[in-house]
Amino acid sequence: AGAAAGAGPALRSYPHSAVLDGAGAYRLRWGRRGSALALRLEVRTRGYVGFGLSASGGMASADIVVGGVERGQPYLQDYFTDENRVLKKDPQQDYHLEYAMENSTHTILAFSRELHTCDTNDKSITESTVRVIWAYHHKDMGEAGQNYHGSNRGTKSLRLLNPEREEVSSASLPYFDLTNKDVPVPDKDTTYWCQMFKIPIQHEKHHVTKVEPLIQKGHENLVHHILLYQCSSNLNDSVLDYGHECYHPNMPDSFLTCETVIFAWAIGGEGFTYPPHVGLSIGTAADPLFVLMEVHYDNPSYTEGLIDNSGLRLIYTPALRKYDAGVIEAGLWVSLFHNIPPGMPEFVSEGHCTLECLEEALGAERPAGIQVFAVLLHAHLAGRAIRMRHFHNGEEQKLLAYDDEFDFNFQEFQYLKEERTILPGDNLITECHYSTVDRIRMTWGGLSTRNEMCLSYLLYYPRINLTRCASIPDIMEQLQFIGVKEIYRPVRTWPFIIKSPKQYKNLSFMDAMNKFKWSRSEGLSYNQLVLKLPVNVRCSKTDNAEWSIQGMTALPPEIERPYKTEPVICSSSSCLSCSLFLTLLFIVHITANTIGKPVPFV
């Protein structure tokens, strides 16, 4: 027995898909259609299905659609919730049902929505991360009024507007796997596990064309993200013997040589496919030989006895592509000189890939410029938004990449819609927005997730000898802000010790910064100061060699702050011909007459 309405678009209209729950009962398929997004939900229920977009991943202030098939009749309703999670029918219905089907086990709904509606109750769909919320119930909406969906609900971060990529069949190509071997996952919330590997292809050049996650069955929600770093090629095979917790005081020193990210996968992410004309070169002396795989395990229920064998599959080909891919780490050099006061709803840090560094490295190696085709934006738990700003001869270009809804638990390379040329004379700024309202001590730049980072990883071609293009703000001027007059010289301890004034005497600069009484207005003044400070240039080659500009001081460019976002042209699908006045009248009238009693939807 089944009921269907509408013919429904073919599955090829939805090139992307993700299973939203751990049990595989809720699948979302989607694809862009001009200025709209087409969505298809396939859910193991004969009751209602809920889907929404939320700023926080919770039910408060969310944009929600609920639908199903009841007694053969399809229904789809646009709702929103207020900050108290009260569900209200949206006076402007922007989700349009195209197909509905129910059989003995599943409900399928296909519908579309404009990316930017003219409705304040809807969330705009952009290239930023979207926190999708989902729910379902075994009964339909109308059967017992508002049914509570119990445990059949959740949230998942996705990028709904990631551009399509040309898929080249890799079925017959050779591959090798980098997988953990029986890692005992501790019964704690978060574990970072690091394991060193040696690339097995060493004698002849090949190109990696695709990297796929290999997640152990049943561990889809345990394995949170995987990063692959290139390590120093001066290591020997003794480093391969065992894995260890990353960022741990006892971790092997060899791990510290692994700094360049060559691949990143995050929960919800698919494999990464290189463009048809580019590959990651392996097998020659200039290529990665030792790599470090970092796996972030997320075990919020503190489950004991978990053993994991997840990892990555690298698919490669002897048929060489035109260009070798390279990776440049840009942004703020990770150090204690990057710091964020406590209690700040917003604090902005900027890392500079300076004109001076790009001028020297590109001028020497590639005056015609490099082509960036994907970007990974990286911060830690206090990160809220990241933008990669691009300037050519001092003139600001379109953003290279951005994520205004940054989610630490969902980080993957974003493909650029169009490759971007970076030329000598350009400069790049990684702009990171943080919130430390829930913190009472300073947040410091560092490796742990409670520390912070502000980085962009640029995937580009052709590969040149530039692995890091970053900056560090001047620390002495930061300390002068809190009243430090003098430090003990020569510096023999780290962090160094303050000599005067009396209130900070013999304190480390970290303790002094924590002792200072930070208010929001002090934090704001400090933020304005830090953004104008001279920066120390980091401009590195592979294997810790440096360009001559490294260590020099440069002034950050004069730029417009904050970044002016491009105006969004919205199109209300419900009311294109109405005047604004009529629209407002209509909304007020509907709101007054039909919303009725608010219903809690938790």
What distance in Å separates the CA atoms of residue 30 and residue 132, rounded to the nearest whole number? 12
What distance in Å separates the CA atoms of residue 530 and residue 541, rounded to the nearest whole number? 27
Question: What secondary structure does DSSP assign to 240-288, as a single string?
Answer: GS--EETT-TTS-GGGGG--EEEEEEETT---EE--TTEEEEESSTTS-
What distance in Å separates the CA atoms of residue 478 and residue 496, rounded to the nearest whole number? 14
Residue among 225, 338, 378, 433 flagged as catalytic: 378
Residue 83: C-alpha distances to residues 92, 407, 593 (Å):
19, 20, 22
What distance in Å separates the CA atoms of residue 53 and residue 79, rounded to the nearest whole number? 11
Is 219 noted as a catalytic residue in this protein? no
Q: Kindly state the tokens that stand for 12.
A: 């090829």
Q: Kindly state the tokens that stand for 256.
A: 């510290």
Is 390 noted as a catalytic residue in this protein? no
Residue among 26, 48, 192, 297 flagged as catalytic: 192
Q: Kindly state the tokens that stand for 457.
A: 């990883």
Residue 381: C-alpha distances to residues 287, 335, 387, 444, 453 (Å):
32, 16, 16, 12, 9
Q: Are 47 and 136 in contact (CB under 8 A)?
A: yes
Beta bridge partners of 75: 68
Identity at 343, one-letter amino acid code: G
Q: Are 325 and 463 in contact (CB under 8 A)?
A: yes
Q: Kindly state the tokens that stand for 233.
A: 């090629």
What distance in Å separates the CA atoms of residue 261 and residue 279, rounded to the nearest whole number? 15
Catalytic residues: 192, 378
